[in-house]
Chain A
Amino acid sequence: MLNRREFIATVSAAGAASLGIADDTNGNLSEVVAVRNGTPVEMFRKGIASLGGMKAFVKPGQRVVVKPNAAWDRTPEEAANTNPDLVGEIVRQALEAGATQVLVFDHTCNSERNAYARSGIEAAVKGAGGKMISGADEADYVERDCSKAIRLKHAKIHKAILEADVFINVPVLKNHGGTKMTSAMKNSMGWIWDRQYMHKNDLPQCIADLILYRKPDLNVVDAYRIMISNGPRGISKADVRMPKYQLLSKDIVAIDAQALKLLRYRPEDIHYLQKGERLGLGNASESKIRVTRIDA
């Protein structure tokens, strides 16, 4: 039996699909590249090469935005933020592919100054020639509407996301108290201004809705170190494991549907996956995902 909300979701997704608005990954296989057993930089080099290299995503003269998870006043070893070396490498490769600028930001949970510094991401981005910008200023967020969205009809989105030609989403894989897992889809909460609205109004649905406002062109899930408990902040290093994995995909739903296996979660426990698939954001079901496995 469908409840009213699910019914509306199904109907609108079906409607969207029939109108041809849905993502082209629907129907086709979604490709997820999984790399393991190397440093974050090595794994990214191998992974991006199998997707045709950075040149397949970034054309000369384009403006690129990279959105890591840099929300926490935690060190790289504590695995609450994306690995800084990986972020630096992505910035470097984007510039090498001819990007005119590479902006990096997050709407942090702890104070921005501390989170940017302690995560090591600010230093890595600067070292690679990118620009770390603030996500803490409401004036940088632009009001947008989305009629396709089910709960998040209006949102203030960071202008760097809206203005970029290429959008690369680089989350770290973690346990999450509220949504069980945080990975590529949940990383979207760092490019909206009002997170409290999302928490209050069916968080998993809002996460799926938020991605309608702008879908990343490339997702890179950092699973070099992962947080298996007490996420997303973590208490101590006892929460951290080091499987040395990395996932890459254009499909933000498919990449999360694969990433959850590293945490031994069941797809039905990650509520935003099905909601994302229903909105046509990508494929969650195993039969529609092709995984390429590479040993770095």
Chain B
Amino acid sequence: MSGYLNALSWQWVLDATIRSLAISVVVALLSGFLGVVMAWVVTRTDAPGADILGGVLSVPYAIPAYLLGMAWVVLGNPQVGLLKAFFPSSGSYGFWGIVFVETSVAFAFPYLELKAGFERLDAAFEEAARMSGATPGRVFRDISLPLLWPSLLNGMILAFLYSLSAFGVPALLGLPVRQFTLTTLIYSQLKLGGGSGLVGGFALSLLLLCIAAVGLVLSSRVSRSKSLSGGKSSHQTRVKLGRWRAPVSAFGWGFFGIAVILPWIALALSALAPVAGRYSPRLWTLEHLGYVLKLQDFREALVNSLFLAGAVATLITFVGFSLGFLAVRRRQGWASVIIQALGLPFATPGTVLAMGVLFVAVVCARFGMPINEPLLMMAAAYGFKYAAVAARSLVTAFSQVDPVMEEAARVSGANTAELLWTIWLPLLRKTLLSAWWLGFLPMLTELTMSVLLTGPGAATLGTVLFELQEYADQPSAAALAWLLLTAALGVGLMSIKRGDWSFRKSAS
């Protein structure tokens, strides 16, 4: 311990710890607020375009937050930024910049949870209250919110852990103004090299894990939930907003515009510019977009990333489904403990997690079991990192659905496999999809861990992006980022048209 203290003053550690905590708490609170409002607007109101909004609001979650950070650096640039007038002289750097960008991604945790929750929730309770004369606000406060409290809390916990372990955004927006968080301090300690740097890095990682563990324990205290909601997704009526239609819709679309469209424009301009900083339309060129599309690595990465993210997301959804069933319906304590414990790797910075995987690989090689497959190592790292996302949202869903159907099936002689297949799978279809999606999207573009674990033949979208950023130039990196964001938007929009496998409010 004393070895690393000569490089790291307690003041520095304390400063970073407080900043990390403050950022994570503020992000969690803002995410919770936005998640509730947006999920309610898109599932329960007649706001214009609510269905489309419902699909596209998950888009920011699909791209690495640090790309959004990149876009906001461009937008807030004090010299040439498109929105420089709205920014302080320091641009988008510092505490509020980090909070803002992380919230625009992390709000998807409570949002997607609550959206699935609202869709699962039997509207009969809300209708009963409304018929008894309660205003929409009152219904929301007294009926929907208490019922969906576990989903909200879980979403906020995920948002908290997410920003606690976030590296890209604090590095991009914090380091230039010397505002360290625990993750960037860990990174700089590991990069310092030597024994003391390594010890310092891992000591700080332990500190981060302790904070995450305290957060998880506190949250499990308050989230004792009652299963009050009906499992059948019955017909849902929408609140007539009346004169509030326009303002509510404007708020929803305004948020979408700021969180997604502005960064999309910024990345497009950066991709079209011949060199960074020259955005005049006369100079626009498709050179960088063409360069990225023709890149051999990009094609390899596309295949690898789709395959990896798809396979691991399916696996963790299945594991989460089974663990959730065991923990909630079979009251197996060990399953609950595992689900809580999965929150720790989720809160671990990717750098530390990837180094752990590498360490295990080295140990395995010592004992004659060489693991030379980078894709396998990435799959393991992804799985550990994101298993919590699927497991936690499924456990919440299991605990919220009335088990009356399961009991009926059991009485009729169904075994466990039949129960899961014929009762729970259809009942939790929406939550399963949102859990899969919550895992799939960040894995598709995962960068921090992939960069450390990649090898020949194992390029992923994240590693290609990193290489463009480091070794090519800003416009090429922006071109790939823009392509990814556009693809995410496309998928979001398509899922509304196709309707079936998506988040669209189904008319079942």
Check if A and B associate.
no
- Name A's B-contacting residues (CB within 8 A): none
